[in-house]
């Protein structure tokens, strides 16, 4: 079964439909590329997909090891590059709930975030910066990158 169908709606907009569920996502060109910027751009989705993937893999690892991650959230900052126009870098701040994670749990969760299939699929020249903020101990925040 195919994954999605994408339809061009005009005015630099698309509508993507997830075929199994029927859920829809709309995109529009960003203001710096002739668009209105009133929805996700395709490059916004790519960057956001990296964070969503990291969080999903972290949640799978947490479930496997009996670690609580409810309330985890991420903020994404995308950097565009030119010649050719592309995503040059993505910074993700992953905020973990205040759970007094052990060193072993932090290692498991950070390793899971860095094992994200989306991150592994992106071009090696795309800089990926991940900062994990452990809610109970901001001094021990972890920074890592691909």
Q: Do 72 and 103 fall into the same domain?
A: yes
Domain residues for 22?
Answer: 4-33
The tens digit of pLDDT for each residue in 68-107 reads 999 999 999 999 999 999 999 999 999 999 999 999 999 9
The tens digit of pLDDT for each residue in 1-50 reads 999 999 999 999 999 999 999 999 999 999 989 989 999 999 999 999 99
Residues 6 or more apart whose CB falls under 8 angstroms from that of 135 comprise 95, 96, 97, 98, 99
Q: What percent of the chain has pLDDT over 90?
A: 89
CA pair distance 4, 22, nearest whole angstrom: 9
Q: Do 59 and 128 fall into the same domain?
A: yes
The tens digit of pLDDT for each residue in 122-135 reads 999 999 999 999 98
CATH number at residue 73: 3.30.300.20
Q: Do 141 and 104 fall into the same domain?
A: yes
Asked whether the predicted pLDDT for residue 142 surpasses 90, the reply is no
Q: What distances in angstroms separate CA 133 from CA 3, 97, 101, 136, one per listed residue?
A: 34, 9, 11, 9
Residue given tokens 């899971």 in the structure block: 112
Domain count of the fold of the chain: 2
């Amino acid at each position: 079964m195919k994954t999605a169908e994408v339809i061009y709606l005009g005015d630099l907009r698309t509508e993507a439909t997830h075929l199994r569920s029927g859920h829809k996502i709309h995109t529009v060109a960003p203001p710096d590329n002739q668009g209105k910027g009133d929805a996700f751009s395709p490059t916004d989705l790519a960057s956001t997909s990296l964070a969503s993937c990291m969080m999903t893999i972290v949640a799978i690892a947490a479930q496997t090891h009996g670690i609580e991650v409810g309330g985890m959230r991420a903020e994404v900052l995308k950097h565009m590059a030119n010649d050719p126009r592309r995503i040059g870098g993505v910074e993700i701040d992953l905020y973990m709930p205040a759970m007094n994670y052990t060193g072993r749990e932090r290692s498991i969760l950070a390793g899971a975030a860095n094992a994200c299939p989306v991150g592994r699929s992106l071009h090696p020249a795309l800089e990926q910066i991940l900062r994990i903020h452990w809610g109970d101990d901001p001094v021990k925040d972890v920074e890592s990158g691909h």
